Amino acid sequence: MKNQDMQASCDLLYRHWREGTRLENLPEDLRPSTRAEAYDVQGCIEAHTSQPLYGWKIAATSAIGQKHIGVDGPLAGRLLAERVIADGGDCALGNNLMKVAELEFAFRMGRDLPPRPTPYTEEEVLAAVATLHPAIEIPDSRYEHFATVGLAQLVADNACAHRFILGPAAADDWRGLDLAAHRGRAFRNGAPAGDGIGSNVLGGPVIALTWLANELSRHGLTLKAGQVVTTGTCLAPLPIAAGEHIEGDLGSLGRVSVTIT
């Protein structure tokens, strides 16, 4: 794809995101055919934000998540600062097509992980983390039939990124926990609504974070200090509706909440 076609593809998707509308597919002349082209299209979204990139999301880190969007493996997307909601704040549901909330383990990086020829190990990636947080992601797609458009179009569409809520940092002793065995629970208006475990996230949140660092490295991108990485839902996506208060509880790692309006 030519640079102008990549920007035009991204601009089209961003317009639908901004306006809450849908398209069937990208036009053929604006449609990426490879994973690399799709990330190049996605990267053009940074022209639509006036703030530094907030961070990254990982979509489809569980078998349930992969089935939900019709892919067979994870994909990365960008979190825009303008789309982040404060913990305990309000999120307008609007024309959201997916209408789900996801409870996630999120990490804020303490130092850069730049591209390099050899893959990063889990130990190296974990050593670069500053803090761990509970988080809620509220994804969406700009495609009318997101489960059938395929991986490249989904990556171009920012891996179904939409709204994001970051909870407070966990106590420093989280590094001594087995995050893969750590359980999370979701509540809807105070009532239990779902539960899950860290191993649902590609086998564990640190495994997922390492995947993200290496996915960015493969595509010439740096995971930067200060950026947040949310690692994918640890429980089945929770259906949401206007008027509901959604809370995620990661036990000793803390809680995070949002009200759907």
- Average pLDDT in the 124-150 region? 96
Q: For 163-197, what is each residue's pLDDT tens digit? A: 999 999 999 899 999 999 999 999 999 999 999 99
pLDDT higher than 80, residue 109: yes
For the chain, domain boundaries = 52-260
The CA dihedral of 174, 205, 180, 238, to the nearest 10 degrees, is 110
The tokens for 161 are: 């990124």
pLDDT of residue 67: 80
CATH 3.90.850.10 given to domain 52-260? yes
pLDDT of residue 187: 98
pLDDT higher than 90, residue 248: yes
pLDDT higher than 90, residue 72: no
- pLDDT-derived band at 7 (thresholds 50, 70, 90) equals very high
- Average pLDDT in the 64-91 region? 91
Say which residues have a Cβ less than 8 Å from residue 59's Cβ, sequence separation at least 6. 65, 69, 71, 74, 75, 76, 77, 139, 154, 159, 160, 232
- Average pLDDT in the 106-133 region? 98
